[in-house]
Amino acid sequence: MKCEDYQNLIIEELYDEITPGDRKKLKSHLRVCPDCTARLEALRSTSQTLKKWPDVDPKLNLTFIPEKRLSANGWLKRFGFKQFAYGFAGACAAVLLILAIGNTRISYQNGDFEFQASLRPVQTALPSENYLTKADLEQFKQENYTTIGQIITENNERERIRQALVLSDLYNEMETKRQTDLVAVSQTLQQVNYGNEERFDQTNQALSALIQYVNYQFTAKP
């Protein structure tokens, strides 16, 4: 065997994962091969140097908290698109099966959907049963006139009430404004009156002081 053939055994010996048989084989080779002996020692030394890098604490404090509710997107992510597609297809198939068993009939005519379901097959009405007579048409026309007349009357009444309400609101608003104006005028008049009275008092006081002064001047002179 060449030295290259002992590489794996050297590694196994380095990490003490060698079988007794292989260890014996390697040792007998190492006794006669100084290169492989040196290589094993060099790798052992490298391994010791590598171990000088100590572990460090990431200090991340990762904490997972429970999800309160799963949105539709969350369900999709949790179960995967494939499972969701299978589930959706299954649900659609089940709905169709139920509709088929129930002899369901859905039709659309003049803006209305018609839905019928029964355990017995749905009997289609014969065309002859749908024919209308002239009397039916006349009655239908009369009913329409009556209905339209009622609608017009109701509209007129509604409009009259609306106008009355608007007028009532307007009257109330004007009355409120008038009351406000009266209060303001009354307050202003009171203020003017109070000012005049004050001025009269001041004038009276000044005149009486003047009279006293004049009297004093006359009495003081010989």
Partner 1 sequence: MTDEILIDKFLKGHIEAFNTLVWRWETPLYNFILRYLGDGDQAKDVLQNTFIRAYKSLHRLKDHSRFSTWIYQIALNQCHDCWKSQKRANLNISDLEDDDEENRHERITMADPACGPDKSAFNGDIAEYLRRALLLIPEEQRVVIIMKEYHGLKFTEIEAILQIPLNTIKSRLYYGLSAMQKVFKQWGLDREDLRYEM
> Where in 10-29 is the site for partner 1 (CB under 8 A)?
10-12, 15, 17
> Where in 102-161 is the site for partner 1 (CB under 8 A)?
none
Q: Left, alpha or beta for 111 (phi > 0: left; psi -120 to 50: alpha)?
A: left
- Convert 125-143 to b/e letters by CB count within 10 Å (16 or more is b): eeeeeeeeeeeeeeeeeee
Please provide residue 208's backbone torsions phi and psi, each rounded to the nearest 5 degrees: -65, -35
Stretch that binds partner 1, among 58-66, 91-99, 143-151, 181-189 (CB under 8 A): 58-66
From residue 68 to residue 107, the character string flagging contacts with partner 1 as x (rule: CB under 8 A) and all else as - is ---------xx-----------------------------
Among positions 65, 72, 126, 135, the unique one binding partner 1 when judged by CB under 8 A: 65
- To partner 1, the closest distance from the beta carbon of 61 in angstroms equals 9
Instruction: Measure the CA–CA gap between 23 and 40, rounded to whole angstroms.
Output: 13
Among positions 1, 2, 21, 57, the unique one binding partner 1 when judged by CB under 8 A: 57
Neighbours of 14 (CB within 10 A): 15
Name residue, tokens 């406000």. 180
Residues at the site binding partner 1, with contacts judged by CB under 8 A:
7-8, 10-12, 15, 17, 42-43, 45-58, 60, 62-66, 77-78
